[in-house]
């Protein structure tokens, strides 16, 4: 029987075919195909189109998470607009929503059995964090990653690269790199992960995203997107409703204003 991974919250209704990776990513006006890479279940991790839905969430819990799909849709839209050299806008998003989307995506992949031989059910703590009922513990969750996905195609797509620690008890999931149309994010499940990666524990990663080296930033105030043509553009992230700028000033997240502002 298909089971909703949020069933610990109660109130489940009929199971829905949840998109493992938010469909909003692929509707962003980039006319890009639904292309997902790196999930083991599908042809050994080769890029795939289709097979992107799985019976892992009920309709009720799926619909409660639609704000998370909306936020990644805004990001994908912004990335599509930024393909135009003359575009010079800034996108503001709530960091917690992007972080919850990232964690939901990891859980979707794991619960669908796409990460390995087992279908994995998240702990109650993780479910509570994804639904915004409890905060994500400090130093876990979203980190930005300097640079771009080297396998990024102009047509776009998502990639998924799990990172495991080997322990006496076996392999444990320490985190996942998820890239959205080339923009890498790290979902960390271990407070030591970013430091250990930066110290060179996985040599292949040192210059994977940037020739300047591997660098992560926990709960960044902004993600800088470099472009092939045109100046870099920024996605500003608020944390606790506060936007923090590089010059040290702060501002409240404009909840009722349009999220994209042209400058
Ligand atoms: Zn449910």
For 50-88, how does the pLDDT look when each residue is reduced to its tens digit (9 = 90+)? 446 778 999 999 999 999 999 999 999 998 888 888 888
CA of 127 to the centre of ligand 1 (A): 11
User: Distance from the CA of 8 to the center of ligand 1, in angstroms?
Assistant: 8
The alpha carbon of 65 and the centre of ligand 1 are apart by a number of angstroms equal to 11
Å from CA of 222 to ligand 1 middle = 33
| Ligand 1 center from residue 131 Cα (angstroms) | 11
Quick check: 30 pLDDT over 70? Answer: no
Average model confidence (pLDDT) across the chain: 85
- Enclosing domain of residue 81: 26-262
Instruction: Please give the average per-residue pLDDT across 138-152, as a whole number.
Output: 91
Q: Residue 175 pLDDT more than 70?
A: yes
Provide the domain count of the chain. Answer: 1
The CA 136 to ligand 1 mean position distance, Å, reads 20
- For residue 118, report the distance from its CA to the centre of ligand 1, in Å: 20
Q: Tell me if 16 is assigned to some domain.
A: no
- Give mean pLDDT, residues 139-168: 86
Comparing 14-23, 28-37, 136-145, 233-242, which segment has the lowest mean pLDDT?
A: 28-37
Q: Which two tokens stand for residue 5?
A: 């991974």
Give the mean pLDDT of 131-155: 90
58/54 Cα distance (integer angstroms): 11
Residue 239's closest CA among 222, 214, 257?
A: 222
Distance from the CA of 102 to the center of ligand 1, in angstroms?
Answer: 19
Instruction: Quote the ligand 1 centre to 200 CA distance (angstroms).
Output: 40
| 12 Cα to the center of ligand 1, angstroms | 4
pLDDT for 262 equals 43
In a domain, 17, yes or no: no
The answer to whether residue 164 scores a pLDDT higher than 90 is no
Mean pLDDT of 17-46: 62
Separation of 123 CA from ligand 1 center, angstroms? 14
Task: Tell me, in angstroms, the distance from the centre of ligand 1 to residue 1's CA.
Answer: 13
pTM of the model: 0.89
User: How many Cα atoms sit within 13 Å of 229 on the Cβ side?
Assistant: 7
Is 35 part of a structural domain of the chain? Answer: yes
Taking the C-alpha atoms of residue 207 and residue 210, their distance in angstroms, rounded to an integer, is 5
In the reported structure, the alpha carbon of residue 113 is separated from the centroid of ligand 1 by a whole-number distance in angstroms of: 18
Which of these, 167, 29, 190, 168, lies nearest to 106 by C-alpha position?
190
Distance 216 CA to ligand 1 centre (A): 33
CA of 95 to the centre of ligand 1 (A): 25
In a domain, 158, yes or no: yes
Q: Is 21 a member of any domain?
A: no
Residue in this structure with the two tokens 């890009």, named with its chain if needed: 32
Query: How big is the chain, counted in residues?
Result: 263
Residue 4 lies inside a defined structural domain of this protein: no
Does 43 have pLDDT greater than 60? no
**What is the Å distance from ligand 1's center to 62 Cα?**
7
Q: Tell me what pLDDT residue 14 has.
A: 92
Residue 61: how many CA atoms within 13 Å on its side-chain side? Answer: 27
Confirm whether 116 is domain-assigned.
yes
Q: Ligand 1 centroid vs 99 CA: distance in angstroms?
A: 20
Task: Measure 109 CA to ligand 1 centroid, in angstroms.
Answer: 16
Structure tokens belonging to residue 163:
């990172």
Looking only at the bridges linking them, the beta strands covering 233-239 and 222-225 are antiparallel
How many A from CA of 77 to the centre of ligand 1? 29
Residues in contact with 59: Cβ distance below 8 Å, sequence separation at least 6, in sequence order: 13, 14, 15, 16
- Considering the domain boundaries, does residue 12 fall inside one? no
């Amino acid at each position: 029987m298909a089971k909703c991974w949020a069933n610990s919250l109660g109130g489940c209704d009929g199971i829905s075919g949840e998109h493992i990776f938010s469909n909003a990513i692929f509707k962003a006006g980039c006319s890009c195909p639904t292309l997902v890479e790196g999930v083991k279940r599908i042809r050994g991790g080769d890029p795939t189109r289709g097979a992107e839905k799985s019976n892992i969430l009920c309709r009720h819990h799926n619909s409660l998470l639609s704000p998370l799909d909306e936020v990644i849709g805004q990001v994908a839209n912004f990335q599509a607009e930024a393909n135009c050299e003359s575009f010079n806008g800034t996108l503001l998003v709530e960091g917690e929503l992007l972080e919850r989307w990232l964690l939901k995506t990891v859980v979707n992949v794991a619960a669908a059995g796409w990460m390995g031989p087992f279908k994995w059910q998240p702990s109650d703590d993780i479910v509570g964090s994804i639904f915004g009922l409890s905060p994500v513990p400090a130093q876990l969750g979203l980190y930005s990653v300097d640079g771009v996905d080297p396998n990024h195609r102009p047509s776009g797509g998502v990639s998924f690269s799990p990172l495991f620690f080997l322990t006496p008890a076996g392999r444990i999931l320490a985190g996942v790199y998820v890239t959205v149309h080339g923009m890498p994010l790290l979902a960390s499940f271990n407070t030591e992960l970013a430091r250990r990666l930066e110290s060179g524990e996985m040599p292949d990663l040192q210059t994977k995203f940037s020739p300047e080296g591997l660098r992560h930033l926990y709960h960044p105030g902004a993600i800088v997107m470099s472009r092939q043509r045109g100046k870099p553009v920024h996605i500003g992230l608020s944390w606790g409703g506060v936007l923090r700028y590089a010059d040290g000033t702060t501002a409240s997240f404009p909840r009722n204003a349009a999220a994209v502002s042209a400058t």
